[in-house]
């Protein structure tokens, strides 16, 4: 597997991967209504438009994108998704390491994330602790605010 920065031609693939992962992986933890809402967001064009607001990487295996990750410029890992057929093979960890190293270089002393229920234990193992559990009134979505201090 190799990790590289996202390229303009990758956006359709990462938008598709995000949707597949939400449908097949996050759907175990969230209601159908929430899943449908997430699926209605984030087209390839939306990813392209936000290119200047974040730094984004893709994981590649056999020339296929199998995961992606991004951080914003406020010391926050904002997204990480791995394709359902490549879970628990270290892809998410490799992507997170790259994003963390990049944030450290930018001078971040701690890293924040808003985790899904699905990813909470993954982040815990990677040194993050829950600072707040939030359930949004509008649709009942639960997320966990998590934090890792960099040494
Ligand atoms: C969270 C996610 C990115 C993890 O990716 P991954 O490539 O499977 O993670 P890794 O293989 O690097 O896992 C490293 C360790 O984290 C832990 N871990 C990973 N996924 C886990 C899960 N679902 N439940 C419990 N522990 C988990 C395990 O200890 C794992 O090591 P092990 O497989 O040797 O036991 C992936 O599950 C995913 O895409 N989830 C859906 C999208 C999502 O919710 N993203 C987060 C948005 S904030």
Domains of the chain from N-terminus onward? 2-111 (3.40.630.30)
**What confidence tens digit (pLDDT) does each residue in 111-148 have?**
999 999 999 999 999 999 999 999 998 888 999 999 99
Residue 137 falls in which region: left (phi positive, over 0), alpha (psi -120 to 50) or beta: alpha
Q: Separation of 81 CA from ligand 1 center, angstroms? A: 9
Residue 110 falls in which region: left (phi positive, over 0), alpha (psi -120 to 50) or beta: beta
The minimum-distance atom of ligand 1 relative to the CA of 87 is 8
**Model-level pTM?**
0.96
**What confidence tens digit (pLDDT) does each residue in 48-103 have?**
999 999 999 999 999 999 999 999 999 999 999 999 999 999 999 999 999 999 99
The minimum-distance atom of ligand 1 relative to the CA of 94 is 12
**Residue nearest atom 36 in ligand 1 by C-alpha distance:** 82
């Amino acid at each position: 597997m190799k990790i590289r920065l996202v390229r303009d031609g990758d956006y359709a693939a990462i938008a598709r991967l995000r949707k597949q992962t939400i449908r097949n992986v996050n759907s175990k933890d969230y209601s159908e209504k929430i899943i449908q809402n997430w699926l209605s967001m984030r087209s390839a064009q939306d990813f392209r438009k936000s290119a200047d607001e974040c730094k984004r990487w893709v994981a590649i295996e056999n020339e296929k994108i199998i995961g992606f990750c991004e951080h914003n410029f406020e010391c926050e890992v904002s997204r990480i998704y791995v394709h359902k057929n490549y879970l628990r093979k270290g892809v998410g960890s490799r992507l997170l390491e790259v994003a963390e190293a990049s944030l450290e270089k930018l001078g971040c002393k701690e890293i924040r994330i808003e985790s899904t229920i699905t990813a909470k234990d993954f982040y815990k193992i990677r040194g993050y602790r829950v600072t707040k559990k939030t359930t949004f009134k509008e649709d009942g979505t639960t997320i966990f605010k998590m934090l890792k201090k960099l040494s």
